[in-house]
Amino acid sequence: MALQFLRRGKLVRVEHFAPDTMLLDYLRLTERSRGTKEGCNEGDCGACTVVLGEVRQGRMHYRAVNACILFLGQIHGKELITVEDLAVGGKLHPVQQAMVDLHASQCGFCTPGFVMSLFALGHAKQAVSREDVTTALAGNLCRCTGYRPIIDAGLKACASLRDKFHEDEQKAVAALAGLSAMDLLVADGADFFAAPASASALAAMAARHPQARIVSGATDVGLWVTKLLRPQRQIIYTGRAADFAQLHDTPSALFIDGGATYEDAAAALGALAPDLGAVMQRLGSTQVRNSGTIGGNIANGSPIGDMPPMLIALDARLELRQGSETRHMPLEQFFIDYGKQDRKPGELVWRLEVPKLRANQHFKAFKVTKRFDEDISALLGAFRFDIEGGIITAARIAFGGMAATPKRALKTEAALTGKSLEAALDVVLDDYAPISDMRASAAYRSETAQALLKKALLELAGEKNTRVIAA
């Protein structure tokens, strides 16, 4: 069995590769396509941005990803587009031409990454706003040109982009169609990269190889290879199983499969609770949200992951699956201690059930970081209040960054229950004993957490000028 992907109109087969080969290394060292740059090698700068094309409902769907933290095996069954592929017969692609015309490049090191992010945006949307462009570029750093000309180039080029990829779309769909049903297993002795093509094959594979590393978006695991230099010899990739990346909307709850990316789930979660959507908009960058999954954010057990506190405040339930066995638990019970989760080897974070808010339930969430975009939370507060006639009848509060796990504020919840919104302002949040680290001091965390509670209550009470800066 060989890795196969579409490149420049042809299917490429790679028979042998180390399971932890990163796509960027393959491009630069094996294929010798050096237009794609290596900057940070940890998903932060966007210099390595490439575009992956996938068939969805008979059309090509293009998304920008960071090649530095993407395993080569993850591109099986997809089209790979790099900056070298855009110009035709010496004529620059409209995005490249706009970058030239608007003086949007100086040293040029970041430019291929910007071009690829804008290429993906232009293919995703026909009429783009300034906000669309800045969102698409939040994961691309430029240290010499300045962003105004780059944004202007994006606005110009993406206004109504047409290129050869539009013309060749059905050829790409046809070329990839033959690969869609196949499981991938590339093995060398005990080493392997596996990408099962269905959810059931994935569950069986993970149960058979409980020692293997589960990889979803690789936005965490990729860095273990590039930064911690920890080899990954046996990888089971979840992202090939299309039926493991679905959303199921019911009147009472939204069900999200473990393999759904942030991008897949953002609109539905934003519709469920606007603050949830607003925080997700600031999670990583477009490239990170295109690859990273909510399942991975839960499974990694990080005390500063953005999704768990919000999902806990919403009373989400988790389904885990090992082989054909499933079990369910309230999400908060999954996080036992720092680095310790209630997950057995070979067990997958399978599905989440997120209850919808009832008419009297209100949800607020605030992420506190040093930078607005693409920054890990110093702390994140999430609040769900049931309110009847101005009285809080139930409260669920969860914080990230305040303890060794994402954790509820049970004492504070009890103290708030039965109080009017006004009286609730006097309640002191004292459930946590946070630590000081490079993101924030313990004192800052405690003071800010209290302020976030107050902000949530004031916003609910209709107070507009809260004077609490939490953005």
Ligand X SMILES: Cc1cc2nc3c(=O)[nH]c(=O)nc-3n(C[C@H](O)[C@H](O)[C@H](O)COP(=O)(O)OP(=O)(O)OC[C@H]3O[C@@H](n4cnc5c(N)ncnc54)[C@H](O)[C@@H]3O)c2cc1C
Q: Least separation, in Å, of the C-beta of 23 and ligand FES?
A: 10
Instruction: Report the distance separating Cα 400 and Cα 418, nearest Å.
Output: 25
| b/e burial code for range 10-48 (CB count within 10 A of at least 16 → b) | eeeebeebbbbbbbbbbbbeebebebbbbbbbebbbbbb
Could you say whether residue 439 binds ligand X (CB under 6 A)? no
Could you say whether residue 149 binds ligand FES (CB under 6 A)? no
Could you say whether residue 348 binds ligand X (CB under 6 A)? yes
- Piece of the chain touching ligand X by CB under 6 A; list 2-10, 179-187, 300-308, 407-415: 300-308
438 CB-side CA count, 13 A: 2
Residues 6 or more apart whose CB falls under 8 angstroms from that of 21 comprise 71, 72, 73
Could you say whether residue 36 binds ligand FES (CB under 6 A)? no
SS3 28: helix
In the bound state with ligand X, the residue whose beta carbon lies nearer, of 94 and 258, is 258
Binding mask 198-237 toward ligand X (x if CB under 6 A, else -) reads ---------------xxxxxxxxx----------------
In the bound state with ligand FES, the residue whose beta carbon lies nearer, of 226 and 405, is 226
- Piece of the chain touching ligand FES by CB under 6 A; list 118-126, 143-151, 152-160, 319-327: 143-151
Estimate to the nearest angstrom the gap between the alpha carbon of 412 and the chain centroid: 31
Could you say whether residue 300 binds ligand X (CB under 6 A)? yes
Could you say whether residue 73 binds ligand X (CB under 6 A)? no
In the bound state with ligand X, the residue whose beta carbon lies nearer, of 148 and 328, is 328
SS3 462: coil
The residue from 20, 25, 44, 374 that contacts ligand FES (CB under 6 A) is 44
Burial (CB count within 10 angstroms: exposed 0-12, middle 13-18, buried 19+), residue 139: buried
From ligand FES, ligand X, none, interface partner of 306 (C-beta below 5 to 8 A by class): ligand X
**Beta strand 184-188 pairing with 391-400:** unpaired
If you write DSSP's letter for every residue of 295-311 in order, what string do you get? HHHHHT--TT-SHHHHH
Could you say whether residue 107 binds ligand FES (CB under 6 A)? yes
Instruction: Report the distance separating Cα 358 and Cα 62, nearest Å.
Output: 36
Residues 6 or more apart whose CB falls under 8 angstroms from that of 190 comprise 233, 234
Could you say whether residue 261 binds ligand FES (CB under 6 A)? no
Q: Which amino acid is at 122?
A: G
The residue from 1, 144, 187, 443 that contacts ligand FES (CB under 6 A) is 144
In the bound state with ligand FES, the residue whose beta carbon lies nearer, of 51 and 365, is 51
Could you say whether residue 74 binds ligand X (CB under 6 A)? no
Instruction: Report the distance separating Cα 73 and Cα 446, nearest Å.
Output: 43
Could you say whether residue 105 binds ligand FES (CB under 6 A)? yes
Could you say whether residue 159 binds ligand FES (CB under 6 A)? no
The residue from 4, 21, 66, 290 that contacts ligand FES (CB under 6 A) is 66
107 CB-side CA count, 13 A: 9
Binding site for ligand X (CB under 6 A): 42-44, 69, 213-221, 238, 258, 283-284, 288, 291-293, 295-297, 299-300, 305-306, 348-349, 374, 376
